Chain A
Amino acid sequence: MRSISLFFRSVAKSLFLVSSLSIGIHAYAQNNTDANAAAGQATSGSAAAGAPVVAAATAGDAGAGGAIFKQKCTSCHAIDRAVVGPALKGISERRDREWLTKWIKNSQALIASGDPEAVKLFNEYNKLVMTPFPELSDDDISNILAFIDAEANKPAEAAGGAGTAEGGAEGGSEQGVSDWMLGGIIVLVLVALFVILVLNRVIKTLERLLLQKQGVVVEEVESESTAVRFRRLAKNKKFVGFAVLLLVIFLGSVGWKAMWETGVHQGYQPEQPIKYSHELHAGTLKIDCQYCHFGAYKSKNASIPSANVCMNCHNYVTASDKYNGETSPEIAKIYKALDYDPQSKTYGDNPKPIQWIRIHNLPDLAYFNHSQHVTVAGIKCQECHGPIQGMKEVYQYAPLTMKWCINCHKTKDVNYKGNAYYDKIVAVHDQLKKGVQVTPAILGGIECGKCHY
């Protein structure tokens, strides 16, 4: 027994040492990265906050104008390049303020009145009618113009903005550096451990020397070599049995867990070719899921939207205000895929499909139909795909195991109310088992052949 307790003591000691060390390191590393992240946020926050302040300095109402501009104008206009309509940089210098007000309120009336400038402009832009905005007051319009002027005059400050943006990017890359730091710390700890060991030895020798000097005869304890100790331990049948038992339990449980999780990819979050954010599109902008995933309500595939669906908006939404007037590099990837030239608005003849990486990989042997669940059962996307509106990058939320499918089929109610298909079936069910919950399982929804064929 003694040897076991001894063993445990030594093991416990070293375990404690190692765990406390690792916890310490981890905490340090985490603090470090948190701090970095916070710093990054702070710099980008200040950059974002900085812009309006500068704008406000040039004209008092540019802020209000900016809000209106974003709401009403950005779908067709940008400051420094032509979108659907012309670029607006320097518009207040090119055109008379009064003319501009008339044009914005109702361009067609102006054209109809025979204004030569208006007619020329109309013809120049392929007779595209600009939406009239009679609801805008003169003040609103001057606010907008102030905003445009402020934006147009920004290049000097924009350079500074770019600087801060780069800083933000660096802040992000520092998280990569923290890995190096972690390695450094581990090396440090190892060196420290070595030093402690050496010092320990030195202290022991010194102690003995001291005692010898004092005349105390130190009884030479017969020091056992580790090999001898180990051999003795190995001869202890009880200990060996116990160790084997522990090993079997350990390996068994690990194996058991591993086998259950074979092929389960919950949390799978591959890096996609385009950093498309569901948080922005579904969360902030509240675009309906089926605007893009049109197949979900009529097909078995929810389908990844084709690039032409993206182009419905990204024809003019380029997020250039965040990228210093340039098109967002992620949106530019769509253009590249379509071989679309945003300047000339033409499509080239060298399109390259976007190769998304599939996240939800149901095995081929299982048949799943989205429309059955979305349209017929009325299940929300989030029930299987998780808080998708908050995901910057999508990951697999559900385990997609058969157990998971069956659990749902056993507990959910069938959405049969108002669906004439179910009338007779539910009547038969009620005849057989009145009062029992009508689950998909009761109607045969967990039979093998319903999904495996």
Chain B
Amino acid sequence: MESNKKYWKGLEELKTTPEFVENNKGEFAESLPIEEILSDAGLKAPTPRRDFLKAMGFGLGAVTLAACQKAPVHKSIPYLIKPEEVTPGVANYYVSSYKGHGILVKTREGRPIKLEGNPACILGEGRLDAVTQASILDLYDVSKLKDPKLDGKDATWASVDTFVKGELNKIQAGGKKIRIVSSTVNSPSTNKVIADFVAKYPNTRHVQVDAVSYSGILGANQASFGRAVLPHYHFDRADVIVSFGADFLGTWISPLEFNRQYVVNRNLASLKNKKMSRHVQFEAGMSMTGTNADVRVALKPSEEGLALLNLYAVLGGGGSAPKLSNAKAATALGLVAKELLAAKGRALVVSGSNDIATQTIVNNINTLLGSYGTTIDITNPSYQYLGNDADFVTLIAEMQRGEVDGIFFLDSNPAYNSVLPKEFAEGLYKVKLKVSFSERLDETAALCNVIAPVPHFLETWGDANAVAGYYTIVQPTINPVHNTRQAEQSLLIWSDNAIKNYYQYVKNNWETSILPGAGLSWKQLLQTGVVNSGAGANAPAAASNAAPAVNAGNAAQAILAASAALAKGGESVTELTIYESVGLRDGSYANNAWLQELPDPVSKVTWDNYVALNPKYADKLGVTEFDLVEVKADNYSVVLPVLYQPGQAIGTASIAVGYGRTKAGKVGDEVGKNAYPFLKLQNGSLQNAVAVTISAAGGKRELAQTQTHHSYEGRNIIRETTFNKYVQDPHSGTGKHGEHPTYDLWPEHKQIGHSWVMAIDLNACTGCGACVVACNVENNIPVVGRDEVIKRREMHWIRIDRYYSFQDDQGASLTKEDQIGDLAEGDSTLEDVTVINQPMLCQHCDHAPCETVCPVIATMHSSDGLNHMAYNRCVGTRYCANNCPYKVRRFNWFNYWNDSRFDNYMNNEFTQLVLNPDVTTRSRGVMEKCTMCIQRIQGGKLQAKIEKRPLRDLEIQTACQQTCPTNAIIFGDRFDPNSAVSKALGNERTYYVLEELNVQPGIGYQTKVRNTTEAQQA
């Protein structure tokens, strides 16, 4: 039987609040003042006739004057000496890498305009995440430094070099300490440069500290295996995944890679083979990973460690743990333990905690499950995070004692993101030589006396070694725009290295150490971009035996103590978890307008951070949504608005880091509040859960949420089934009940040649938002800013809708409206929600409702199945947007590229260099929407025509498809029966959203399948 589960976009819809009803009533988001004008007062206003004549007269005059304008003279300035590889109008691609991920950089006439994944990259396999997609915008960031600075004044490099060298020699002579503070450096060449620097100035030490730290795992692995490294996880080899607060799809360690791996056992191909992994998530806040879990259990942070101890005990690890107070979690743990044991060798347990003791227990659990050598590779570890919290504390102590006289900050901003900003600033004050290698005048650089600005990564040489055995090269694709110099180059010069040119240095380093083993030449490397010597392969199984189970006793003691401390305040305190947001991550991307406007995958909030509270818990605290509340810890407090977050554990709150920058630049300054100082240093690492008190601070601040925009009026657009039902009947949940007669108002479109369609697998979509950013970059989509988002004027062509469905206390799905009323008003905790992410974009309907209502025929159907939008024909009636059942049309309320209010992105001349020259920027007053990347379709077709060959399948990829880490989006030609999209749409799980309207959409969705066992369903 078809499920009649109900889905809600948010609590507003669930509770049908008066505002929600009101907002959905009108044709437009804002009411038009028609009634005011037509009312008596409007019509009988004193001088409407004269005003009318004035306006007409002015209009006529203005038009006449405008028409008199002579056609402007356009200059056409060719190259004087054209580089051989450049053909104006044709893009060039270069390999490079970003944070160890291989990328292809698309350049047009010498300027990089888009990043794509390098298919040879073992982490992304040709895919990119939202952050990397957006990183190109930073190249054209106007807030960056243009010259080096000495004591706050612009200086020349020569004077900087003289000064720094002089100081270094003095420090050397005086026997004081020099420190290089950086975030994780896994670049072999940079490490070598630093080693050379240390050799020249032996008092130097390199301190690595990460804003969001993985010291817990590093410390635990030091204890368990004698190696302070992150293991290389393989989610694709796991049949049962249990995560305790690790947002591995969103932000944890290597989310792009984990997304790709995770979906391998859940996508079309896997389900076809009747195989699906199982994923159970225990967490406090609703994370992106939690939305994808088959079963999600809300659990307080103080109970997470206990739950792990319980699990360890049940799995046979010995020791006894106190029973969990959360009965639901206890039951779930029991079931999970059984499943884990049954899947020995194909199981994986991860924890998002940064506590050494907790991670030690996780290690022990994984050892019991035989995960080492199968799902966890510790012999070829990951070098993505190496920062050690304890080292940083030592550094601050050294600085405060006045032992350090020289300090260098390399890709590091402790003044903003350290847990002890005050102590850090005090210590830094005592240091004589403070050098910042920052690309902007950030919080730390502002405290330094020398700023040696570094170029963007697209302007530099470099390399990375993200995972053992896997090397990537960074090569520049544009000359440095500003007067900047690579940090490595500066260090080479300051340490009087024999090689002063960093390019030469990298080349030498590769040619002596990495390339010979790979059998590649330097030139070949610049074309392949990556070298892989064995990373990612199956690690020797022997490793599993080698992994010793550490005595869990001490760890258990530590966990129990921490847990007790956290829960000490009882009912009066709230347990706060500090997490990274998917868009801004650790805050280094805060000045990136694309990422600021990327809606959070779960809350759909843009341009702000907030205190996420369970609505029931908020009631108890006496606050309502958008109320400003003061969150107070022992030594730090912030005032932030409340966000109702279904699924949030009662008694907990969550705040994202990465906000509250004060010196990020035009875009990122004063967006949200800084949550880093909440972190607590305990047992040698930063703990991301602390006890706080929350109280109303008075006032409200509305959050710019996109989730409640564009209502579907409760229509059934999500189709879902469970794995068991799917195995019995692959059609289950699709809502198909045989053939129906259909009646068409319009004649069928004759299609010659191609029919472009798309398939989206709801089970593969994790909601990460990479497609949204990729679409922004490809299609010149404006960033509108917080206020405009509140007015529902965001311009994204593709959005990811997030739907909640609620369960009652017994875990059963609610199917009827009146039951929901009980839930909302009654004593359900609203902790049990399931979530579905649905990418929504123009469906390119064959019988498109938008086309028939356009009075000027600006939107038309094409012979290859696309719904065209001719901007220059549109007069802006917005009828089409109104008549679109999918609500995917966007209206240009402003000339975003020529309006000072939008200075943060498109209005800036320098930033405009990132625009795609093959796509027009739209003018005020016209509609726009997804074109299925028609510029790519036309380009692909032309390439085939020039080469006189038929089009190949997957040769043309839309921007969203190309970047999708999980391959959830497949685009292609329906007329080619062998195309990937034809096969995907032929799948039994396929359904079309609102197909009952017979608008014949061109995008087919595959049902969401949840691997819930009957026991947990009931």
A interface residues with partner B (beta carbon < 8 Å): 262-263, 265, 268, 270, 294-295, 298-301, 303-309, 337-338, 351, 353-358, 361, 363-365, 367, 369, 371-372, 375-376, 418-425, 428-429, 432, 442-444, 447-450, 452-453
A444 touches B77 (CB 8 A): no
Docked pose: A364 CA to B950 CA in angstroms: 30
Can you name 11 extra interface pairs (CB under 8 A) apart from A421-B945, A447-B860?
Answer: A268-B71, A299-B90, A304-B76, A306-B79, A308-B82, A309-B82, A376-B942, A421-B941, A425-B753, A432-B750, A450-B868
Docked pose: A337 CA to B81 CA in angstroms: 11
Known: A303-B89, A449-B866. A262 touches B78 (CB 8 A): no
B871 touches A452 (CB 8 A): yes
Contacts of B71 in A (CB 8 A): 263, 265, 268, 361
Contacts of B931 in A (CB 8 A): 449, 453
Partner of B920, one of A303, A355, A453: A453
Docked pose: A308 CA to B80 CA in angstroms: 6
B89 touches A299 (CB 8 A): yes
Partner of B753, one of A300, A303, A355, A443: A443
Contacts of A442 in B (CB 8 A): 752
B78 touches A304 (CB 8 A): yes
Closest CB pairs A-B (n = 5)? A449-B868, A299-B89, A444-B863, A448-B870, A306-B82
A357 touches B862 (CB 8 A): no
Contacts of B750 in A (CB 8 A): 432
User: Which residues 79-121 of B have a CB within 8 angstroms of A?
Assistant: 79-82, 87-90
Contacts of B75 in A (CB 8 A): 355-358
Known: A308-B82, A449-B934, A453-B919. A421 touches B74 (CB 8 A): no
* B946: interface (CB < 8 Å): yes
Contacts of B816 in A (CB 8 A): none
User: Which residues 192-209 of B have a CB within 8 angstroms of A?
Assistant: none
* B73: interface (CB < 8 Å): yes
B948 touches A421 (CB 8 A): yes
B67 touches A262 (CB 8 A): yes
Contacts of B934 in A (CB 8 A): 449, 453
* B949: interface (CB < 8 Å): yes
Least Cβ–Cβ distance between B918 and chain A, in angstroms: 7
* B869: interface (CB < 8 Å): yes
For the A-B complex, the count of residue pairs with Cβ-Cβ distances under 8 Å equals: 156
B87 touches A375 (CB 8 A): no
Chain B residue at minimal CB-CB distance from A356:
B76
Docked pose: A437 CA to B991 CA in angstroms: 39
B918 touches A367 (CB 8 A): yes
A428 touches B78 (CB 8 A): no
* B29: interface (CB < 8 Å): no
Contacts of B155 in A (CB 8 A): none
B interface residues with partner A (beta carbon < 8 Å): 67, 71, 73-82, 87-90, 750, 752-753, 858, 860, 862-864, 866, 868-873, 918-920, 931, 934-935, 938, 941-942, 944-946, 948-951
Docked pose: A421 CA to B752 CA in angstroms: 13
Docked pose: A437 CA to B84 CA in angstroms: 41
Docked pose: A270 CA to B76 CA in angstroms: 12
B950 touches A305 (CB 8 A): no
Docked pose: A364 CA to B918 CA in angstroms: 10
Known: A294-B87, A358-B76. A421 touches B949 (CB 8 A): yes
Listed A/B pairs (21) with beta-carbon separation below 8 Å: A263-B71, A298-B946, A303-B78, A308-B80, A337-B80, A356-B77, A361-B74, A363-B872, A365-B872, A371-B942, A371-B946, A418-B948, A419-B945, A423-B950, A425-B753, A447-B868, A448-B858, A452-B870, A452-B871, A452-B873, A453-B868
Docked pose: A363 CA to B873 CA in angstroms: 14
Least Cβ–Cβ distance between A367 and chain B, in angstroms: 7
Most B CB contacts (10 A, CB to CB) among A270, A309, A432, A447 go to: A447
A299 touches B946 (CB 8 A): no
Partner of A429, one of B80, B752, B869, B946: B752
Docked pose: A265 CA to B542 CA in angstroms: 78
Docked pose: A23 CA to B245 CA in angstroms: 94
Chain A residue at minimal CB-CB distance from B864:
A444
Docked pose: A424 CA to B754 CA in angstroms: 10
Docked pose: A449 CA to B938 CA in angstroms: 10
Partner of B950, one of A304, A358, A421: A421
A301 touches B88 (CB 8 A): yes
Chain B residue at minimal CB-CB distance from A258:
B67
Contacts of A357 in B (CB 8 A): 73-76
Known: A448-B873, A449-B869, A453-B931. A353 touches B945 (CB 8 A): no
Partner of B938, one of A305, A307, A354, A450: A450
A306 touches B80 (CB 8 A): yes
Known: A299-B89, A353-B77, A453-B934. A432 touches B752 (CB 8 A): yes
Docked pose: A447 CA to B868 CA in angstroms: 8
Contacts of B919 in A (CB 8 A): 453
A448 touches B868 (CB 8 A): yes
Contacts of A294 in B (CB 8 A): 87
Contacts of A375 in B (CB 8 A): 946
Least Cβ–Cβ distance between B904 and chain A, in angstroms: 23
Least Cβ–Cβ distance between B839 and chain A, in angstroms: 21
Least Cβ–Cβ distance between B67 and chain A, in angstroms: 6
Docked pose: A301 CA to B78 CA in angstroms: 11
Contacts of A420 in B (CB 8 A): 948-950
Docked pose: A33 CA to B107 CA in angstroms: 54
Least Cβ–Cβ distance between A452 and chain B, in angstroms: 5
Least Cβ–Cβ distance between B846 and chain A, in angstroms: 15
Contacts of A301 in B (CB 8 A): 88-89
Chain B residue at minimal CB-CB distance from A338:
B80
Contacts of B948 in A (CB 8 A): 418-421
B87 touches A299 (CB 8 A): yes
Partner of B942, one of A304, A309, A369, A425: A369
Contacts of A356 in B (CB 8 A): 75-78
Docked pose: A355 CA to B78 CA in angstroms: 8
Least Cβ–Cβ distance between A370 and chain B, in angstroms: 8
Contacts of B866 in A (CB 8 A): 449
Least Cβ–Cβ distance between B757 and chain A, in angstroms: 16
Chain B residue at minimal CB-CB distance from A263:
B71
Contacts of B78 in A (CB 8 A): 303-307, 353-354, 356
Known: A270-B73, A444-B864. A376 touches B945 (CB 8 A): yes
Most A CB contacts (10 A, CB to CB) among B79, B919, B941 go to: B79
Chain A residue at minimal CB-CB distance from B71:
A265
A447 touches B863 (CB 8 A): yes
Contacts of B864 in A (CB 8 A): 444
Contacts of A428 in B (CB 8 A): 752-753
Partner of B951, one of A270, A295, A418, A421: A421
Least Cβ–Cβ distance between A169 and chain B, in angstroms: 28
Least Cβ–Cβ distance between A403 and chain B, in angstroms: 15
Docked pose: A353 CA to B82 CA in angstroms: 11
Chain B residue at minimal CB-CB distance from A370:
B89
Docked pose: A304 CA to B78 CA in angstroms: 6
Contacts of A371 in B (CB 8 A): 942, 946
